[in-house]
Chain A
Amino acid sequence: MSAEPLLQVKDLHVAYQPVRGQIFPAVNGVDFRITPGEAVGMLGESGSGKSSIAAAILGTLPKGGVINSGSIQFNGRELTSLSERQLQHLRGSEIAMIFPEPGLALNPVLRVGVQISEVVRAHRDWNQQKCREAAKAMLVRVKLDDVERIFNSYPHQLSGGQKQRVLIAQALVCGPKLVLADEPTSSLDTTIQAEVLTLLRELVIEARTAFLFITHNPALLPGLAERVMVMHEGKIVESGAVKDILFRPEHAYTQQLLSALPKRCYSS
């Protein structure tokens, strides 16, 4: 493990303040670090605060969400004190996010090719032609057949698996240093899920991009992440190497989570 962390989160507190009603604390003091090229999994049920952490890193907390205290350092820069403009430079070029629902994350009135090339245009001083070529090259790399047709399609013309591949292309097109994937396969069926996970493994893990994989399903982690953090009620209750946590869980919550897995996931 190299000494310089790429991302260092210290004592992070995130809470949601609705217009009426009580403050809801989502993240209560989370510490972790990701070194360059490391693949880390984050495991937890819905409502455990895992998506709030991803949103806090990107500075995209929904309305009412605030970072109460703590620091997020990325490449030596403090993200919590950056302006919106500075954050925009980071998002997409250095930190990228793959969203859970590809149907909601893509703009329904723009062709997907335009949506990928506009990410390149936002971060590079290239002309339109060059951006489009970069986008097409990326579509080839996410293993979509018939790239020309998909480039000129609207999101509703694509299947769920194709849309998720487009989102992956969009996230990786600028070569980010850190990729956050929030439940990237939860809306897909199991066969497509397996294909998309294999693709992620090839593109992200083998390219040694730092990777934070957020999921509720422990069975997806082997092969995708080296280390895993288990979240429960806004805290990290257990963390360590994937094979230690999944096969010798110590915390009661992790044990409960693992016992909920279908038995077939264990047999080889």
Chain B
Amino acid sequence: MTIEGTMNKQEQKEVLVEACGLSKSYAWGNPWLHNNKKSQALLNVSLKVIKGSILAVVGESGSGKSTLARMLVLHEKPDAGSILLDGMDVIKMLPEQLCGFRPQMQLMHQDASTSFNPRFNAVECVEEPLLIKGVKQIDRHKLALESMELSGLTGQFADRSPLELSRGQRQRLAIARVLVLKPKLIIFDESLSGLDLLTQSHIVRLLLDLRQRYDLTYVFISHDLSLMGDIAERIAVMKDGGIVEEQESTHLFSAPQHVETCKLLSAVPRMSQPREPGHRLALQEGSL
């Protein structure tokens, strides 16, 4: 009994976010013409995010991944279900109480360019969340520059407009803006998919490095199963608003259970040509 009790306690400690039975539907159509319709974006989704781990949520467009991301960072309230952050139910909290929690869970979007104010320069963009938090101006500037440095943008970028930056640099600026709040959980909603391969691998390396240093927890939302296989420890596959399979990433690739997973796996572009096995051999010796 006592052993079980302590084990439960340990488990609770490790889980950072726990979502139980989340459901959400959006209404559309014209209610005056009595053709109001509902589309179910999420249906009874349960998910656990272990502290310090990397979880990937993979699915086709329209499977409800982004809705789930918005729920987890409390941008939207679910119709049913609960979200526990560090063991506390954040759905039932009042907005004033939530203010303390919001900085801990941050969301990053696919194209950072649309989320920057074009009238701000780079450092002002990073400062803005601190302004909302109520940090003094002198500290704000210093913290923002530090955060930019961490994400690989030197001081010379401080006065540039976010629109002048390349896509990779903008993604770094968005990372700086998220880091400045010292979050526990960062959710990346397709943040890697608009980038080309080299930039993508640089950003991934940066994120993995930051995670090591600051003990961050990541949730990646993506449609690219091959990329997630390299990054994530656990992968959840979504289809039509529900999680159909959740497994360790190595298991998922070796023994996919659900049809949807197989479909996503078969869409991964393959380099090796089955007709010529010699090339695969050469590759293993060479570039890997």
Contacts and interface: CB of A to CB of B under 8 A. Distances in A.
Interface of A: 45-47, 159-160, 186, 189-194, 197, 216-220, 222, 243, 246-249, 255-268
23 contacts: A45-B196, A46-B199, A186-B194, A189-B60, A190-B226, A190-B268, A191-B264, A193-B267, A218-B197, A219-B226, A222-B271, A222-B273, A243-B273, A243-B279, A247-B271, A247-B282, A248-B286, A257-B198, A260-B198, A262-B224, A262-B227, A265-B226, A267-B270
B29 interface: no
Contact of A194 (B267, B273, B276, B280): B267
A18 B60 CA distance: 40
B257 interface: no
Interface in B234-288: 253, 263-264, 266-274, 276, 279-280, 282-283, 286-288
Contacts of A186: 194
A260 B200 contact: yes
A247 B279 contact: yes
A182 B99 CA distance: 46
A216 B197 contact: yes
Nearest to B278: A247
Nearest to A242: B273
A263 B249 CA distance: 13
Given A243-B279, A264-B230, A45 B197 contact: yes
Given A189-B223, A190-B264, A258-B287, A264 B253 contact: yes
Contacts, number: 109
Given A263-B288, A264-B225, A219 B61 contact: no
- Specify the main secondary structure of chain A where it touches its partner: helix
B271 A266 contact: yes
Interface residues on chain B, size class: 35 or more
A268 B280 contact: yes
Contacts of B166: 46-47
Given A47-B166, A258-B287, A263 B230 contact: yes
A238 to B, nearest CB: 14
Nearest to B281: A247
A243 B276 contact: yes
Contacts of A194: 266-267, 269
